[in-house]
Chains A and B, each alone.
Chain A
Amino acid sequence: MIELHDVRFAYPGSGGFALHVPALTVSPGERVALIGPSGSGKSTLLLLAGGVLLPHSGSVRVAGDDMTSLAASRRRSLRLRRIGMVFQEFELLDYLTVRDNIALAGRLDASIDRRTLASEAERLATAAGVAALLDRKPAALSQGERQRVAACRALATRPAALLCDEPTGNLDPSNADIVTRLLLDHARDHRAALLMSTHRHESLDVFDRVVDIASFRLRGGGR
């Protein structure tokens, strides 16, 4: 579950920009689309939900843990093990193979069983249609294949929360559908709370709920 309550945040030197989220809850297994114009604060909200940014006030709870009160190391560990993140620009490590990119969490946290992660990587790659590319480097993949690999990386630890920042923004409709379906199916099958920002208004009906960030109170510009 993802719960944001009375969250307030402003970037230092942002000239008055501020984000205020009175309340936002995404239940286990629920798939929520986050919409809003560019610069409206969708990415910031996702980073707050993932504990990458800390709010000035309010609380952010993910899988029962209050991110605002956790020590940095615990927050980091939670992000690695319980939160999956997907970015618009894929952000794959170009020096690792597809297999190693998907199982990256195991390299950063010794307590994650790497053997389990490796078999999960193969299973996810098969589901995403990139099993034949497991030993290739990202440079040899198409845009759509890269984002499928990035989605697999986010799902590899079977996270309780999935935070996706415009994951289909750089993809053609066909690949966008594949990536969206992959993430939605995982959320449904593993009861993960999914919060995905998107501009694809034509496919919002696949989500359980749509939240317009404009409904939150904002001042100034945004990110």
Chain B
Amino acid sequence: MNGLLGLALSHAWHARVRSSLIVVSVAIAAFIPLATAIVASSLEAALLRRADSTSLVIGGQGGRIDLVLAALYFRPSRTKSITTGDWMQLDADFPGKLVPLNVQHSAGGAPVVATPPDYLDARGFAIKQGTRATLVGEATPGRNAAERHGLSPGDGINSDQAASLDIAAPASIRLRITGVLAATGTPDDDAIFTDLKTAWVLAGLSHGHADAATAIPPPLLLDRTGERVVVSEAFVEDNEVTASNADSLHLHADETTLPLTAVLGLSLDDRERTLLRSRINAAGRLQAVEPGEVVREIMGHVARFTRAANVIAMAVTALTGLLVGMILTMSAKARSRELLTLERLGASRGQVAMLLAIEAVALTAMGMALAAAAGLALWLHPPDLVKLL
């Protein structure tokens, strides 16, 4: 058997192009269903891990999935905003149990998550470096966001402008980094955390500037009629909140109408969750959803994709089997003279058949091993599919 194994492997190595074709074909056929299963399971685990740590998500009307993906995974949302007024009412009934969140902005492509310190406490964040952001204009990135942009305490990062060609859009604001959060293995690692008021500065609802009456140089002051002041376009607003201009920050909106993406119920018990959910959904203006239910809905969609992928994988497997069978048959035909010589020298027909079978099995096993290795790599480093949702 060892002798035949050596012969089979020698031939497989000699016919490297043909062998590689077989190995790669088998690997692809085996990898497709394996990868589908790994990716689906990894996606489910990632979604459930996050969903299980949040009792309830409250947001404006719109898609349930959109709301949960925005509130838990910081994905862009098309749901309507809820307001600080809504949040204040809810907080009055469930003090200390609900955390507001604004994820409408980004900086360097990373979501800017504006939330009170309660969020970081409830999620059990640790600071890896520096201190938490506490003032308007300060930011604390998660580990991945900090690594991606090379951020450390004392650095800064500019917020992204949603419409760079719109001159009426709020200007980019430079966020000062006060610290970096320790890794958590969750979407928080990819976010940049700030205070809620910072989100409103980024939205242009709150800003600071010098007193037009006293600090604007006369050449830049074009017109003044009572309270109305017209300044030159050469006058530049502050684009960073600093100790010297922090006092000049002021809102251009009612404090109860400021936008929030969602309000999270992070530490509600079953009774509180049921009560809050039924009350909000009965009122109809807002919606309250349990993330676990939404994740199961997402996994229902994923399962349909998985089933489709498995059908494709079966077709690929059948075609691969046909291809490998044809290659091996043609190979055996091309080797007929060699096989006849082996028989003349003393090999039995069984040995000759075994020689061909060993080579086929060995190449198939190599293909399976290659698929398993690729599957293991995928399992150890699964793609972040939540970002694609």
Q: A and B from one assembly? A: yes
A residues touching B (Cβ–Cβ < 8 Å)? 47, 50, 52, 72-73, 76-81, 83, 85, 87, 91, 93-96, 100, 104-110, 114
Bitwise interface map of B from 4 to 18 toward A, beta carbon under 8 Å scored 1, else 0: 101100110111000
The interface residues of chain B lying within 8 Å CB-to-CB of A83 are 346
Q: Which one of B117-125, B131-139, B158-166, B336-344 contacts A?
A: B336-344
Q: Is B230 an interface residue (CB 8 A)?
A: no
Given contacts A50-B344, A76-B348, A79-B345, contact A106 B3 (CB under 8 A): yes
Q: Is B2 an interface residue (CB 8 A)?
A: yes
Q: Is B126 an interface residue (CB 8 A)?
A: no
The interface residues of chain B lying within 8 Å CB-to-CB of A93 are 7, 338, 341
Given contacts A107-B4, A110-B2, contact A76 B347 (CB under 8 A): yes
Given contacts A106-B3, A110-B2, contact A72 B348 (CB under 8 A): yes
Given contacts A77-B346, A105-B345, A108-B351, contact A91 B11 (CB under 8 A): no
Report yes or no: B346 in contact with A76, Cβ–Cβ below 8 A.
yes
Q: Nearest Cβ in chain B — how far from A212, in angstroms?
A: 25
Given contacts A107-B6, A107-B7, A110-B2, contact A91 B341 (CB under 8 A): yes
Of chain A, the residue at the smallest CB distance from B338 is: A93
Q: Nearest Cβ in chain B — how far from A182, in angstroms?
A: 18
Report yes or no: B3 in contact with A108, Cβ–Cβ below 8 A.
yes
Given contacts A73-B348, A108-B347, contact A95 B11 (CB under 8 A): yes
Report yes or no: A80 in contact with B10, Cβ–Cβ below 8 A.
no
Report yes or no: A108 in contact with B10, Cβ–Cβ below 8 A.
no
Report yes or no: B348 in contact with A79, Cβ–Cβ below 8 A.
no
Report yes or no: B345 in contact with A85, Cβ–Cβ below 8 A.
yes
The interface residues of chain B lying within 8 Å CB-to-CB of A52 are 343-344
Pairs A–B under 8 Å by Cβ, sample size 25: A72-B348, A76-B346, A77-B346, A79-B346, A80-B345, A80-B347, A81-B346, A87-B344, A91-B337, A91-B338, A91-B344, A93-B7, A93-B338, A95-B10, A95-B11, A95-B14, A95-B15, A105-B345, A107-B3, A107-B6, A108-B4, A108-B345, A109-B346, A110-B1, A114-B3
Of chain B, the residue at the smallest CB distance from A75 is: B346
The interface residues of chain B lying within 8 Å CB-to-CB of A110 are 1-3
CA–CA, A29 to B87, complex, Å? Answer: 109
Identify A95's interface contact among B1, B13, B346, CB under 8 A: B13
Q: Nearest Cβ in chain A — how far from B351, in angstroms?
A: 6
The interface residues of chain A lying within 8 Å CB-to-CB of B15 are 95
Of chain B, the residue at the smallest CB distance from A78 is: B346
The interface residues of chain B lying within 8 Å CB-to-CB of A47 are 344
Report yes or no: B342 in contact with A108, Cβ–Cβ below 8 A.
yes
The interface residues of chain A lying within 8 Å CB-to-CB of B351 are 108
CA–CA, A109 to B4, complex, Å? Answer: 9
Report yes or no: B346 in contact with A100, Cβ–Cβ below 8 A.
no
Of chain B, the residue at the smallest CB distance from A52 is: B344
Report yes or no: B14 in contact with A85, Cβ–Cβ below 8 A.
no
Identify B345's interface contact among A95, A96, A104, A114, CB under 8 A: A104
Report yes or no: B346 in contact with A105, Cβ–Cβ below 8 A.
yes
Task: For chain B, residues 342 to 359, give those with C-beta under 8 angstroms from any C-beta of chain A.
Answer: 342-348, 351
Among B2, B10, B337, B341, max chain A CB count under 10 A is at: B341
CA–CA, A79 to B338, complex, Å? Answer: 17
The interface residues of chain B lying within 8 Å CB-to-CB of A109 are 3, 346
Report yes or no: B346 in contact with A87, Cβ–Cβ below 8 A.
no
CA–CA, A100 to B11, complex, Å? Answer: 12
CA–CA, A91 to B340, complex, Å? Answer: 10
Having A108-B342, A108-B345, A110-B3, one finds 6 other A-B pairs with CB under 8 Å, namely A47-B344, A93-B338, A95-B13, A105-B346, A108-B4, A110-B2
Report yes or no: A108 in contact with B346, Cβ–Cβ below 8 A.
yes
Report yes or no: A94 in contact with B14, Cβ–Cβ below 8 A.
yes
Q: Nearest Cβ in chain B — how far from A187, in angstroms?
A: 19
Q: Nearest Cβ in chain B — how far from A48, in angstroms?
A: 12
CA–CA, A109 to B345, complex, Å? Answer: 11
Of chain A, the residue at the smallest CB distance from B2 is: A110
Among A47, A93, A105, A109, max chain B CB count under 10 A is at: A93
Of chain A, the residue at the smallest CB distance from B5 is: A107
CA–CA, A110 to B337, complex, Å? Answer: 24
